[in-house]
Structure 1
Amino acid sequence: MRDTVRFGVNYTPTRGWFHHWLDFDLAEVRADLDSIAGLGLDHVRVFPLWPLFQPNRALVRPRAVEQLVALADAAGERGLDVVVDGLQGHLSSFDFLPSWTRTWHRRSLFADPDVVAGQEEYLRTLAGALADRPHFLGMTVGNEVNQFADRPHPDPDRVTPEQAQAWLERMLAACAAGAPGRAHVHAEDDAVWYRDDHPFTGAQAARLGAASVVHAWVFNGTAQRYGPAGAATELHAAYLVELAKAYAVEPGRPVWLQEVGAPAPLIPPERAAAFAEATLGHVLDCRDVWGVTWWCSHDVARELADFPELEYGLGLLTNDRRVKPGGAAVARVAAAVRAAGPGPGPAVRTTAVVADVGGAARGTRRSVCAPGGPVLETWTRLTAEGVRPAIVLSDLATDPAHLSSRGITELVPAGR
């Protein structure tokens, strides 16, 4: 870990989107990575498509793994560290699951012993292929795989929180077996923080893996409720960083803002730069932030069909690799942080909003933290008053050692 916050981007290839693995062209990848490096960023998160890399439970394609290593090496040559997501999983409204888990071979992604063993071998293989690369930071188990376990997915594989935790522990162990000593994490969408009774929990997010990972999207009702320039909209990513910290039991546990973006029309294109600068400014006022990885590097090509409209324009660069205003804004913030160098970090947040989520282990009342809920409303109001609030779970609000470890001296009930 470094004292200086890191800035990177989720790599979306300009030619063919993630389908580029079917027609892998290293020259095109290098051109994409050149345009990313030109923004002054320091890492990329990359996405092999699981069905293409492991089309059969007993086959992880060697050629696909070689192409992943070639992409990672090309990134390293440009000064970009690499994080690899394993189980894709779900990307930009599309599901990518191998045929040996669906239809005639329908088996639980989280509980079937053969499927889980196949996933372990896949993650071990990818991590092991990159284990000797100094620019390989680690694996992310998958991208928002929790979506497959609950509504609103149309065909979920239901699990209990205990089963979800056991699955996460096995997947993280598989990553560590392939690449010991690297920073392996798991990443879910905001259902872990906001949805009552969701089987993947905030406690798992904040206590398993090398860092707590946050995906902060304002199309979840935040921008709809508070507007594109509303305080809660521009504070949403920082709020989720603080909410992740509330669930942590390890003092100073790093938080990685792994996805954040400016989805149009909820954030109009003419406001993308202002949104980026405001969002990042608030996040940089949080302690223990490891880094920010913007979604995404390049726009999705318009000739590709059936994406939700907001997915086409999320890039920091256009599909022909021109820097957009939002990209220039992220580059400016990254350059300013890099120029400032390591420092003491933001001041401790001594006031905390108390969140009763129905117990950290199960989160039966997590919706109190969602947009419109009393925790976010109180936290936003206090921020507007200049208080700089943290969040503490009611489970831990009576633990003097926990409060002391975080420097919290004043508690404010949610809704007050």
Structure 2
Amino acid sequence: MPAAVRFGVNYTPSEGWFHHWLDFDLDAVRADLDSVAALGMDHIRVFPLWPHFQPNRTLIRPRAVEDLVRLVDAAAERGLDVNVDGLQGHLSSFDFLPAWTRTWHRRNLFTDPDVLDGQAAYLRTLAAALADSPNFLGLTLGNEVNQFSAAPHPDPDRATAAQVDAWLERMLTACEKGAPGKLHLHAEYDATWYQDDMPFTPAQAARHGALTAVHSWVFNGTAQRHGHASVPARHHAAYLVELSKAWAGRPDRPVWLQEVGAPAPLVPAEHAAEFAEATVAAALDCPDLWGITWWCSHDVSRGLADFPELEYSLGLLTSDRRPKDIARALTRAARDHRESGSGTRFPARAPAPRTTALVVPADPAARSRCAPGGDVFDAFFALTADGARPTTVLDTRAADPDHLAARSITEAVTPDQVLRTPRGGTSP
């Protein structure tokens, strides 16, 4: 039997949110992790706030690093592996960037030599501090750092794709120097796949790092256009997993569904559990899926101000650590997947190859075709509704028999071929 897909959560502390690093309380963290472990999860993703850990370019606070190690150790005591995000960066609509990169010290996050030196030193330090922890999975460079590089950010740090390429190589090298052999990666929000002028490209996402990470949020126009119970909404995460494979350097590259959630009111609370089950079932039907990490563990306390409304209710657990219906749904899915054979909704068997491939443009300036409303997006879900289980292939590879054979693809179809042919399934 193949290794089971990993199930985990993005850890949002119930007390103080990520500001808990300012007043780190190990007992509160332990209580949070107990509530996560009780859900049957096997890993968490955690978020040090970069300005708190490295308030000056040449000062990485030893106490903050020690607190991170203590959190990782507490997770180990509860059977939880840990991925650590480094450059935080951006979280839940707030930016957390150190003062030595802003205003009077304004320097580009991706190109300034001094900033790069500071970032590399910080990532290397975090990795080295955790390298000997057996439950440390590796570092993610940061949370959706691509949002700093282009619009719609109000003050972007502009960079070219070549400069981003160099930045990724240097930062991942720093992680590897600190903790050799771990799963070090980078992760962006879906503008990497959908936004024509985004300097973080699909090829970078699918080729740099130990695996590909995708973040799936249906508030990107999917739920607005199609509704929360639609084929596109319930299969959006699977779409991103399969879309990423068009650019991968090797056919078996693992993909991590590193963020996915049920944002209200687009996904009403009474339908969140059903949405989660459908999303997980669709994702588990994708070959080479490494893991599913739900956003997020605990609700944001209503005592904290100025969050977008949807951020307060994304937790599997309330801010007083009580599980919701969606938590119980994820628990059932994880348990059934680990324990089941092939006859359940969440089978532990390896999915069959996806033999039909939708042709997608290799040109990054045409990425909007893959976004909600684009012809690639619409064609993928027309095929999905028709039961075809599609994957994707670049237009530059669609006639390469060796590439198609390596991926078990027997049919490559273009969006116009799909959209002009009446389908037998349910309309997306």
TM bucket (normalised to shorter chain) is over 0.9
Per-residue CA distance 1:363-388 (angstroms, 9 max, x = gap): 01000000111111111111111111
- Whole-angstrom distance in 1 between the partners of 2:48 and 2:241: 27
C-alpha distance in 2 between matches for 1:225 and 1:234 = 13
* 1:92 and 2:97 aligned: no
What is the distance in 2 between the residues matched to 1:251 and 1:352?
13
User: Match of 2:377?
Assistant: 376
Which residue pairs with 1:196 in the alignment? Answer: 196
CA RMSD of aligned residues (A): 1.0
Give 2:224's aligned residue: 224
Q: Secondary structure at the match of 1:34?
A: helix
Q: Is the 8 A contact 1:254 1:290 kept in 2?
A: yes
Number of equivalenced pairs:
411
Alpha-carbon distance in structure 1 between the residues aligned to 2:230 and 2:271: 12
TM-score, normalised via structure 1 length: 0.98
Listed as ranges, the matches of 1:71-110 within 5 Å are: 71-110=71-110
The one-letter amino acid of 2:398's match is: A
Q: In 1, distance between residues paired with 2:166 and 2:317?
A: 39
Give the aligned partner of residue 159 of structure 2: 159
- Quote how far apart the aligned CAs of 1:343 are: 5.5
1:60 corresponds in structure 2 to: 60
Q: Deviations over 1:323-356 (max 9, x none)?
A: 0011111111000111137965000111111112
What SS is found at the alignment partner of 1:229? coil
Distance in 1, matches of 2:286 and 2:45, equals: 22
Q: 2-side partners of 1:343 and 1:406: how far apart?
A: 21
Where in structure 2 are the equivalents of 1:3-402 lying within 5 Å? Answer: 3-340=3-340, 344-358=349-363, 363-402=364-403
SS at match of 1:172: helix
- AA paired with 1:381? A
CA distance in 1, matches of 2:390, 2:14: 40
Q: SS of the residue aligned with 1:170?
A: helix
Question: Is the CA contact (8 Å cut-off) linking 2:337 and 2:348 kept in structure 1?
Answer: no
Identity of aligned residues (%): 68
- Deviation of 1:400 (Å): 1.4
TM-score normalised by structure 2 residue count: 0.95
Structure 1 CA distance for aligned equivalents of residues 211 and 3 of structure 2: 15
Which amino acid in 2 is paired with 1:347?
A
What is the CA–CA distance in structure 1 between the aligned matches of 2:349 and 2:16, rounded to whole Å?
43
Match in the other structure for 2:423: none
CA distance in 2, matches of 1:327, 1:105: 44
CA distance in 2, matches of 1:387, 1:98: 48
Local SS of the residue matching 1:159: coil
User: What's the CA shift for 1:401?
Assistant: 1.3
Structure 1: which amino acid aligns with 2:126?
A: L
**For residue 185 of structure 1, what is the amino acid of its counterpart?**
L
Gaps in structure 1 of 5+ consecutive residues = none
Counterpart Cα distance in 1 of 2:267 and 2:332: 20
Measure the CA separation in 2 of the matches of 1:141 and 1:348.
31
CA distance in 1, matches of 2:20, 2:168: 29
The 1-side partners of 2:164 and 2:281 are apart by 34
Give the Å deviation of 1:357.
4.2
| Amino acid paired to 2:13 | P
1:197 Cα offset (Å): 2.2
Greater mean alpha carbon deviation, residues 276-285 or residues 392-401: 392-401
Once residues 33 and 87 of structure 2 are traced to their aligned partners in structure 1, the CA distance between those partners, rounded to angstroms, is 23
Cα distance in 1 for partners of 2:161, 2:150 equals: 11
1:168-195 CA-partner distances (Å, limit 9, x unpaired) = 0100000000000101000000011000
AA aligned to 1:413 is: T
Contact 2:295 2:315 in 1 (8 A): yes
